[in-house]
Structure 1
Amino acid sequence: MFCCLLFVSVFVATSSADPGTTPDIESIFIGRCSEYKNGVYPVNGNWLVDQGFSQSLDCENLYTQFLSAFENKDPCSIEENAFEQFISNIEQALPADSPLFWSGTNTLAHRYALASGLKTMEDTLIGYLMNNLLFCGSTSSGLNYAECPGWGSCNDAMSTFWDSASKSFASRANGNIAVLLSGSNADGAYRNYSVFARIEVPNLNPDSISNLRIIVSHDIGKTNPKHETCDDGSLLTLKADLDKRELPYTCEEDTEQLTYVQCSSNVDAKECMYLISGSNQIKVPVLTSLLAFIYLTTQIK
């Protein structure tokens, strides 16, 4: 996803300009919508499946709704609620205990979601439709294919869309939910400008959340991978923000399942050698599970 699904989510630093609207965006949008509607096996293997919802989709009409939020408009004057009706029309009920939020852990979060049966915002239709697409309007040509405002540099269409989508995802989360953060991020695992901090935490419903499981990852195969842990740095700010909202939480670091996921793409890292051969004895179940996961992830097309 271009931003943040379970959004997560990460705030991309502002810049003066991005490339223009993705070429053939209408065909991509309608094609993705049709895939979702017809149950085509998803690229990431982890869609939130709801056949009743999917069969009701009118993909062409949805694209018209999406486009109306920013087409022929000043690219820096998009209203805060411009996408809310469009998003409301494609909101899906989130199963309890399924949402995974993320910030600064995009690729790892989606691989972890696939391995653990959780759902990010990108696994819902809202996130899947617009994942990695660029879009902005033009008062003279409808859409601007040459240049879009830098992410967050003004009231632009992309940041407005992802803020609204993240708000929707967070407000529908329920049960035991999770967030995957990077304790190796030099700017902090919990940054006040991130979508998770600005949008998602404030929109979690304390009456619907049983527990927020904070999972802190650290890069593997690095000499000094730990900048922050559960008990210091910006994680203390996150805990304070959750306490203010009376949201229950737990925090853990570098869980075994998470390390399996990391090792599936970096088997030579010292952390992976420890998993496989701890105490100089080959842990066959661990090795078997790791190899099985590597096979699974490489088979997803």
Structure 2
Amino acid sequence: MELFSVAWLGKEPCDVEPNDYKDFVESASITIPKDMSNFWDGWDIYDTVRSYSREGQRTWTLDYTLIGYLINGFYFCGDGKGGVNTESCPDDGECGFAVGAVDAFWAEASKHFSISAEGLSRVFFNSSRPGGPFQTEESFFSEFELCNLTPEKISLMDIYVLTDVRQSPQHDCDSVSINNLKSILDSKSIPYNCWDNPRDVFHQLCIDYDDHEDCTFLNDDGAVHKQSFFLITCIAFIVLQFTTKDTS
């Protein structure tokens, strides 16, 4: 961990930039299984992404890589005198975007996570995010991940625009924000699909609100009526019983 500590130990809390972690991140050799990379943008979608990923069983976010797992939730900074600041460290973003002991680490790690992505990739957005789902300013996805994707390695980018069960969608796959993202992907020759509340992800949003009207119906367009499914099952069982009696 010497390469990690030398990047920030002893420096002023805000006097750390992404490049300071380059040697550490490169030595850690971030690797992601093919078709498993999962990007996201905006803290308001983070919990959904974590739930969908199933702790790395379905997809991998940065915090499921080795260095991401070790550093996630760990706050640290130097004291400017060669040691560790044991009193207080700046909050997220307090030093400026992607600057400071913690934020600079995530910026550099995000870059290398993106470089390692291969095959099918996914990116999650909140449709109700103020300013639009996809943003180019002060965005880790835009400034460190999207720009570092390797077109030759990415076979498809699935864009998921999600709306919380309790909210109304403010943006969708045809919004200006998402079209800007599509244009960037086009310029990089990366093929993509865009989905508004895809069923497999929407199920995750319904876990805490299974009695909400939007979670009651699940058909081919978006969700199965629970009562209808139960009724059909009962009818099929009764028919099977009569059929069995007739043939015996």
With structure 2 as the length reference, what TM-score do the two structures score? 0.82
- SS in structure 1 opposite 2:229? coil
In the alignment, the residues of structure 1 paired with residue 123 and residue 204 of structure 2 have an alpha-carbon distance, to the nearest angstrom, of 16
Check if 1:68 corresponds to 2:15: no
Check if 1:120 corresponds to 2:53: no
| Cα contact 1:66–1:86 (8 A) shared by 2 | yes
Check if 1:106 corresponds to 2:46: yes
Check if 1:208 corresponds to 2:146: no
Deviation of the 1:145 alpha carbon: 2.6
Give the ranges of 4+ consecutive aligned residues of structure 1 lying more than 4 Å apart after TM superposition: none
**In structure 2, do the counterparts of structure 1 residues 91 and 283 end up closer, same or farther at CA, with 3 Å as the change threshold?**
farther
1:36 aligns with none
Check if 1:243 corresponds to 2:186: yes
**Deviation string, structure 1 residues 44-66 (Cα, Å, up to 9, x no partner):** xxxxxxxxxxxxxxxxxx2x321
**In structure 2, do the counterparts of structure 1 residues 284 and 93 end up closer, same or farther at CA, with 3 Å as the change threshold?**
farther
| Cα contact 1:277–1:283 (8 A) shared by 2 | no
1:267 maps to a residue whose letter is D
2:229 aligns with 282
In the alignment, the residues of structure 2 paired with residue 284 and residue 129 of structure 1 have an alpha-carbon distance, to the nearest angstrom, of 49
- Structure with bigger gyration radius: 2
- Higher deviation after alignment, 274-283 or 85-94: 274-283
Check if 1:91 corresponds to 2:32: no
**Deviation string, structure 1 residues 228-260 (Cα, Å, up to 9, x no partner):** 100013111111121222221110111111121
| Cα contact 1:100–1:177 (8 A) shared by 2 | yes
2:103 aligns with 159
1:170 aligns with 114
Counterparts in 2 of 1:1-301, with a 5 A limit? 62=1, 64-104=2-42, 105-114=45-54, 117-140=58-81, 142-152=83-93, 153-154=95-96, 155-192=99-136, 193-222=138-167, 225-275=168-218, 278=225, 281-282=228-229
**Deviation string, structure 1 residues 184-239 (Cα, Å, up to 9, x no partner):** 212321121211111100000011100100011101033xx211100013111111
Identity value in percent: 30
- SS in structure 1 opposite 2:156? strand
- SS in structure 2 opposite 1:73? coil
Deviation of the 1:129 alpha carbon: 0.8
RMSD of aligned C-alpha atoms? Answer: 2.2
User: Which structure 1 residue ranges, 5 or more long, are not aligned?
Assistant: 1-61, 286-301
| Cα contact 2:11–2:82 (8 A) shared by 1 | no
- Higher deviation after alignment, 239-248 or 166-175: 239-248
Count of residue correspondences: 221
| Cα contact 2:31–2:113 (8 A) shared by 1 | no
In the alignment, the residues of structure 2 paired with residue 80 and residue 204 of structure 1 have an alpha-carbon distance, to the nearest angstrom, of 18
Give the number of the structure with larger relative contact order, counting CA–CA contacts within 8 Å between residues 6 or more apart. 1
| Cα contact 2:31–2:65 (8 A) shared by 1 | no
| Cα contact 2:151–2:190 (8 A) shared by 1 | yes
